[in-house]
Amino acid sequence: MKHTIEITKDLVSIIIPYYRKKKYIQKTINSILNQSYNHYEIIIVYDDENLSELSYLESLFKSYKKIRILKNSQTVGAGFSRNRGVENAKGEFIAFIDADDIWKKLKLESQINFMKQENLKITHTSYEIIDENDKVLGERISRNFKKVNDLIFSCDIGLSTVILKKEIFDHQTKFPNLKTKEDFVLWLKILQRNIFIGSLNETLTSWRKLDNSLSSSVLQKIKDAFKVYNYYMKFNFIKSFYYVICLSINFLKK
């Protein structure tokens, strides 16, 4: 796909929850600073009661006017940290990236132009999976989602690939209090509102898979998956259990 260079004034607010990712954060920020689209702000939400890495971040980024660091008074998790970032965002568009992931240079430009051309409120893209040394392990291909049933069996949206309009967020449509799967709940809530989630099938993000990360905890994922269906989607126990099994099988197939 050829990209049309478009001069635009739309501000993108980039939200990054931060919890002990000192090894990767500079590479993540550099991938944002190198974007071909430069009308953005970066909001890092420091989510650690241990302040040992806060001074490191402040000294590292103090000369960058586009970067703001918000400090949580206590550790609240990635989902609630993103909510706080959105609340403080000045942009019409919100983009998410985790503190160890990487964007390709044309990520923002390609996706914002795509959203404007197609008149979409939320989009995601294909992405590659990398290890701690940036070795590519695989790739996930994006697809369109029109309704809840399109997504309900498998969370096939990479969080760090998503850009959406800030107007989508309200007191009900936001990240829930879960350790994992918090993004899955948000996408389902958006689909419940009949908002189409568009796909740009270009690999514009590198998602880092770390074995010691919270997202790799199988037991935690199962607990949170059940809560997605039983509590947030209001399914009964048996239906929720069935969907957790389906979700787990689809995860193992990937």
User: Is 130 within 8 Å of 167 (Cβ atoms)?
Assistant: no
CA distance 16 to 28: 10
Q: What is the pLDDT averaged over residues 223-235?
A: 96
Q: What is the pLDDT averaged over residues 191-211?
A: 96
| Chain segment 98-148, per-residue pLDDT in tens | 999 999 999 999 999 999 999 999 999 999 999 999 999 999 999 999 999
State percent of the chain over pLDDT 90. Answer: 89
Q: What is the pLDDT of residue 252?
A: 82
Residue 226 has pLDDT above 80, yes or no: yes
Short-list 195, 216, 218, CA closest to 207: 216
Give me the phi and psi of 217, to 5 degrees please: -75, 110
Half-sphere exposure of 31 (CA within 13 A, CB side): 22
The SS3 call for residue 120 is coil
Q: Residue 213: which pLDDT band, with cuts at 50, 70 and 90?
A: low
| Chain segment 44-69, per-residue pLDDT in tens | 999 999 999 999 999 999 999 999 99
Domain ranges of the chain: 12-210, 217-254
CA distance 99 to 45: 10
Short-list 49, 58, 43, 34, CA closest to 12: 43
Q: What is the pLDDT of residue 2?
A: 41
Mean pLDDT (the chain) is 93
Q: What is the pLDDT averaged over residues 14-26?
A: 97
CA distance 197 to 135: 29
Q: What is the pLDDT of residue 217?
A: 81
Single pTM value for the model: 0.93
CA distance 80 to 76: 6
Alpha-carbon torsion (7, 17, 126, 130), positive or negative: positive
Q: What is the pLDDT averaged over residues 11-27?
A: 97
Q: What is the pLDDT of residue 3?
A: 43
Residue that wins the pLDDT comparison between 215 and 245? 245
Q: What is the pLDDT of residue 52?
A: 92
CA distance 92 to 169: 11
Helical residues (DSSP H) of the chain, grouped into ranges = 25-33, 54-61, 78-87, 107-118, 148-151, 182-192, 218-227, 237-253
State percent of the chain over pLDDT 70. Answer: 94
Q: Which residues contact 18 (CB under 8 A, 6 or more apart)?
A: 25, 44, 45, 46, 47, 48, 53, 57, 81, 99
Structural fold of domain 12-210: Spore Coat Polysaccharide Biosynthesis Protein SpsA; Chain A (3.90.550)
Q: Give first-to-last CA distance, the chain, whole Å.
A: 26
Cα-to-chain-centroid distance, residue 23: 19
Give me the phi and psi of 89, to 5 degrees please: -75, 145
DSSP 8-state assignment for residue 4: P
Q: Residue 253: which pLDDT band, with cuts at 50, 70 and 90?
A: confident
CA distance 254 to 250: 7
Residues listed for the chain: 254
Q: What is the pLDDT of residue 5?
A: 39
Q: Residue 218: which pLDDT band, with cuts at 50, 70 and 90?
A: confident
Beta partners for residue 163, in sequence order = 95, 123
Q: What is the pLDDT of residue 215?
A: 54
Q: What is the pLDDT averaged over residues 215-236?
A: 90
CA distance 82 to 98: 10
Residue 212 has pLDDT above 70, yes or no: no
